[in-house]
A and B are shown apart, each in its own frame.
Chain A
Amino acid sequence: GAVVSQHPSRVICKSGTSVKIECRSLDFQATTMFWYRQFPKKSLMLMATSNEGSKATYEQGVEKDKFLINHASLTLSTLTVTSAHPEDSSFYICSARNQGSGSGANVLTFGAGSRLTVL
């Protein structure tokens, strides 16, 4: 089945530094990937839609200059948290949609998530 890999799974950084999180679709191509943020005991909040070869589409209230998204290829999207602060500490999850045909085409596959802790 479809697999989405996220790296790193955990990262601790100092306040003011930038952190890059990678999301890869391992066995399928994904024109579109989605980045979510999950707070403790809370649901997943959609941050942005990552589009291959074009700019990401950000949800209202998400700072595009802080959360830089690049979708360089059909299998890779990256989220860079710039000048991270403690309030950016969270669980970031990416997902990708299999562009293939059939019932699986409209199902999102999720990565395992990346836990960011900003000291």
Chain B
Amino acid sequence: AQSVSQHNHHVILSEAASLELGCNYSYGGTVNLFWYVQYPGQHLQLLLKYFSGDPLVKGIKGFEAEFIKSKFSFNLRKPSVQWSDTAEYFCAVNAANQAGTALIFGKGTTLSVSS
């Protein structure tokens, strides 16, 4: 069975600080990897995704993530955070090449950015 672990429960940063949120997954096969963001009072939105190819993927709003297969990791990064990045961030995984499989989510990381 797949599982996702997000190491940071709550991260507090000042504006312009750099961000890295950890995500590790457990699965014996090939996976698709995702980062979703949930702003206060809003629904989940896709930040970025990795299916195959270049392990460094760029998403919206200046976010990027790097897939390191040997470490089963897919950490999310942003060089300079803004107050508007305050939100809940979820890493998710599903089995690649299997149509109709659900996403399995990590427990989420709350990011608080102070201005």
A interface residues, Cβ below 8 angstroms from B: 31-32, 34, 36, 41-44, 46, 49, 51, 93, 95, 97, 103, 106-108, 110-113
Contacts and interface: CB of A to CB of B under 8 A. Distances in A.
Counting chain A CB atoms within 10 Å of each CB, the highest count among B36, B46, B94, B102 belongs to: B102
Contact of A44 (B46, B100, B105): B105
A108 B94 CA distance: 11
B93 to A, nearest CB: 12
Contacts, number: 45
22 contacts: A31-B100, A34-B103, A36-B105, A41-B110, A42-B107, A43-B107, A44-B44, A44-B105, A46-B103, A46-B104, A93-B43, A93-B44, A95-B44, A97-B100, A103-B49, A106-B32, A106-B51, A108-B103, A110-B36, A110-B45, A112-B43, A113-B43
Interface string B5-45: 00000000000000000000000000010101000001111
Interface residues of B, number: 21
Contacts of B36: 110
Contacts of B32: 106
Given A43-B108, A103-B51, A106-B51, A112 B42 contact: yes
Contact of A111 (B43, B103, B108): B43
A81 B106 CA distance: 25
Contacts of A97: 100
Contacts of B43: 93, 110-113
The 6 closest A-B pairs by CB, nearest first: A112-B43, A110-B44, A43-B107, A32-B100, A44-B105, A43-B105
A49 B100 contact: yes
Interface in B82-115: 90, 94, 100, 102-108, 110
A107 B46 contact: yes
A1 to B, nearest CB: 10
A42 B105 CA distance: 10
Contacts of A41: 110
A36 B42 CA distance: 16
